[in-house]
């Protein structure tokens, strides 16, 4: 094992061992070499080398999403750090813990014309929990420090005793800062940033630690993790209750909770595909239920009849624009968000945050003994109305994105976890039933298209089962560097739905069929992934028909020596028209 001689660098490594950080994603550089070598030579850590920091950030996000523990990112000084921004914002809004360590020049070398230096503090603005710098060690290169011009870190004359005293203060400060920041990161599931100023020489190591960390207790919890600020009788006051479930990790709600919720027929559960919750009495495929109502002449009347008086939200971001607009236009009297994560006032009625694990919340909830089934049945009736027309439409619909998703959704083997890119892939997938064994993930914190591949590769690197990434063409080409690493397993699968541009913009309101739209909004193109597949060692197939895909999927998921890409070409115009016709058809039948 090699521990860096520089005390602050060694302290970070000892701290990571102390709190059990395991996964370290390292991007190259020289300033971060003391830490890179220190981590990589210690078998307590599993280190990954990912060159592009934007991709590295998402790769680490994928790891933390799966392990539910912080993954650590390490980069050199300068613009390297800025490239973590998209993944840090995603982690912040998705509440995924990441620790960013940036190596830096000493303070006296910033903004004086030294190479590869920028101001590295607070570069992530408000999209991160905290951004701090360790203090520079004063017993390392004391001469160089005392020679520095502007910031007098050490006052001359210096002697060993005074340096030892100053260094001991630096050590106390640094340990406290690490303790507090790491602890907050874990407790609040949010990203944090620690900058570390390092003076050369950088490549000196010792075999055994020369520092012993203080044994002081952890700082007090940043939030009270749980509170009882709710009235368990609230359910008795409402006969129209919606529980809306957004992004959750698998098994977030226990079977006991699900059964308890089911026992109350005043409750309608609307669950998104990313909720990873399955029960036949809950309503998935929310858009399939709501979008056709929007097209009815008497839509207001219908919406009014299913409007809730109490809305309870659980989990993270909501994908369905339809449910958001329904609940904003036909708003509940009361909105409670239950959980330890952030409560968003998404529906403009003011949100009351019940800071409690939803399982405990429902355990304590008191229900009316014999609730009538009216409210549940109103939703059930609409949901049932969709079943036959859905099937019939798909049977006769032309080859399009919708057809492709209907085929894919019924072909995924149970062992696969599914990583889905933004934006139309996750929206299409929401229209179909996915087996509960297939955990579904999507970067919905910021809904970016910039890291879906890297996230999927990172997640797959720490998952025992195989991973399928379903992505659009623009998202795929955007994050090509997600494939530029050596951690892609042979079981990794990518399906690219290539509709020649950002197909989502043809679906969203405001679409215009003209050149400006095609060039600047949709970005239509004629690229395909054939040569990229070759470059990165993937088996590759391209299909553009229903029978072609069906045939390809028969072998696509089977074991292979290389990972595989299945690229599916779809017609963009027909795809957007088909989706619109689908909702029209559902509304009329």
Ligand X SMILES: Cc1ncc(C[n+]2csc(CCOP(=O)(O)OP(=O)(O)O)c2C)c(N)n1
Residue ranges binding ligand X (CB under 6 A):
421-425, 447-450, 472-475, 497, 499, 502-504
Query: Rounded to an integer, what distance in angstroms lies between the CA atom of residue 248 and that of residue 440?
Result: 9
Tell me which DSSP letter residue 6 carries: S
Q: How far is the CB of 446 from ligand X (least distance, A)?
A: 7
User: Whose Cβ is closer to ligand X: residue 33's or residue 434's?
Assistant: 434
User: Whose Cβ is closer to ligand X: residue 315's or residue 502's?
Assistant: 502
* Per-residue CA distances from 395 to 104, 316, 398, 546, 582 (Å): 60, 34, 9, 11, 11
Instruction: Report which of 159, 253, 176 is spatially closest to residue 15, judged by C-alpha positions.
Output: 176
Let me know the angle formed at the C-alpha of 330 by 326 and 335, rounded to the nearest 5 degrees. Answer: 95
User: Whose Cβ is closer to ligand X: residue 36's or residue 429's?
Assistant: 429
Q: How far is the CB of 224 from ligand X (least distance, A)?
A: 35
Q: How far is the CB of 499 from ligand X (least distance, A)?
A: 5
Task: With H, G, I as helix, E, B as strand and everything else as coil, classify residue 442.
Answer: strand
What Rg do the C-alpha atoms of the chain give, in angstroms?
27
Q: How far is the CB of 556 from ligand X (least distance, A)?
A: 20
- Environment class of residue 161 by beta-carbon count within 10 Å: exposed (0-12), middle (13-18) or buried (19+)? exposed
| Position of minimal CB gap to ligand X | 472
Q: How far is the CB of 56 from ligand X (least distance, A)?
A: 16
User: Whose Cβ is closer to ligand X: residue 30's or residue 523's?
Assistant: 523
Q: How far is the CB of 402 from ligand X (least distance, A)?
A: 11
Instruction: Report which of 329, 326, 466, 338 is spatially closest to residue 382, judged by C-alpha positions.
Output: 326
Q: How far is the CB of 437 from ligand X (least distance, A)?
A: 25
Q: How far is the CB of 327 from ligand X (least distance, A)?
A: 23
User: Whose Cβ is closer to ligand X: residue 311's or residue 579's?
Assistant: 579
Q: Which residue has the tokens 């809305």?
A: 311
User: Whose Cβ is closer to ligand X: residue 449's or residue 549's?
Assistant: 449
Instruction: Report which of 292, 326, 386, 285 is spatially closest to residue 581, judged by C-alpha positions.
Output: 292
Query: Under 8 Å CB-to-CB from 428, ≥6 apart: which residues?
Result: 401, 402, 405, 579
Instruction: Report which of 539, 291, 522, 545 is spatially closest to residue 404, judged by C-alpha positions.
Output: 545
User: Whose Cβ is closer to ligand X: residue 425's or residue 563's?
Assistant: 425
CA 556 to chain centre: 26
User: Whose Cβ is closer to ligand X: residue 568's or residue 586's?
Assistant: 568
């Amino acid at each position: 094992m090699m521990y860096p001689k520089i005390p602050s660098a060694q302290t970070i490594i000892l701290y990571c061992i102390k709190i059990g950080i395991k996964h370290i994603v390292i991007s190259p550089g020289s300033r971060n070499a003391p830490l890179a070598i220190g981590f990589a030579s210690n078998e307590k850590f599993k280190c990954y080398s990912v060159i592009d920091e934007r991709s590295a950030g998402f790769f680490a996000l994928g790891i933390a999403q799966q392990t539910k523990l912080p993954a650590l990112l390490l980069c050199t000084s300068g613009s390297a750090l800025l490239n973590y921004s998209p993944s840090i914002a995603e982690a912040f809004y998705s509440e995924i813990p990441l620790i960013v360590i940036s190596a830096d020049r000493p303070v006296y070398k910033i903004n004086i014309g030294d190479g590869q230096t920028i101001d590295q503090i607070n570069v992530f603005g408000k999209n991160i929990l905290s951004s701090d710098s360790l203090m520079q060690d004063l017993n390392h290169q004391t001469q160089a420090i005392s020679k520095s011009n502007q910031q007098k870190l050490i006052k001359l004359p210096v002697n060993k005793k005074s340096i030892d005293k100053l260094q001991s203060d630096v050590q106390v400060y640094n340990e406290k800062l690490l303790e507090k920041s790491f602890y907050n990161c874990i407790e609040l599931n949010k990203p944090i940033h620690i900058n570390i100023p390092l003076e050369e020489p950088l490549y000196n190591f010792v075999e055994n630690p020369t520092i012993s960390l203080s044994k002081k207790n952890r700082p007090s919890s940043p939030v009270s993790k749980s509170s009882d600020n709710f009235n368990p009788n609230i359910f008795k006051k409402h006969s129209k209750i919606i529980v809306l479930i957004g992004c959750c990790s698998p098994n977030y709600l226990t079977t006991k909770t699900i059964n308890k919720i089911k026992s109350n027929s005043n409750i309608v559960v609307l669950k998104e595909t990313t909720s990873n919750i399955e029960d036949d009495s809950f309503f998935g495929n929310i858009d399939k239920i709501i979008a056709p109502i929007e097209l009815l002449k008497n839509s207001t009347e219908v919406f009014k009849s299913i409007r809730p008086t109490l809305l309870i939200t659980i989990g993270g971001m909501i994908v369905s624009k339809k449910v958001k607009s329904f609940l904003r236009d036909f708003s509940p009297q009361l909105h409670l968000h239950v959980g330890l994560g952030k409560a968003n006032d998404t529906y403009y009625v003011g949100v009351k945050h019940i800071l409690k694990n939803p399982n405990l919340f429902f355990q304590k909830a008191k229900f009316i003994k014999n609730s009538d089934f009216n409210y549940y049945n109103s939703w059930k009736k609409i949901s049932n109305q969709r079943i036959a027309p859905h099937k019939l439409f798909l049977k006769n619909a032309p080859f399009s994105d919708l057809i492709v998703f209907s085929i894919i959704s019924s072909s995924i083997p149970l062992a696969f976890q599914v990583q889905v890119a933004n934006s139309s892939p996750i929206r299409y997938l929401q229209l179909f039933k996915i087996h509960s064994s297939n955990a579904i993930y999507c970067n919905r914190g910021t809904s970016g298209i910039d890291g879906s591949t890297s996230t999927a590769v990172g997640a797959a690197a720490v998952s025992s089962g195989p991973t399928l990434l379903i992505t659009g063409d623009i998202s795929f080409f955007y994050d090509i560097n997600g494939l530029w690493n050596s951690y892609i397993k042979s079981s990794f699968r990518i399906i690219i739905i290539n509709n020649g541009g950002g197909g989502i913009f043809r679906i969203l309101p405001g679409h215009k069929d003209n050149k400006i739209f095609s060039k600047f909004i949709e970005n239509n193109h004629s690229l395909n992934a054939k040569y990229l597949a070759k470059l990165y060692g993937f088996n590759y197939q391209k299909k553009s028909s229903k029978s072609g895909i069906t045939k390809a999927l028969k072998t696509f998921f089977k074991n292979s020596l290389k990972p595989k890409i299945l690229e599916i070409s779809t017609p963009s115009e027909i795809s957007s028209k088909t989706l619109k016709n689908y909702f029209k058809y559902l509304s009329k039948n």
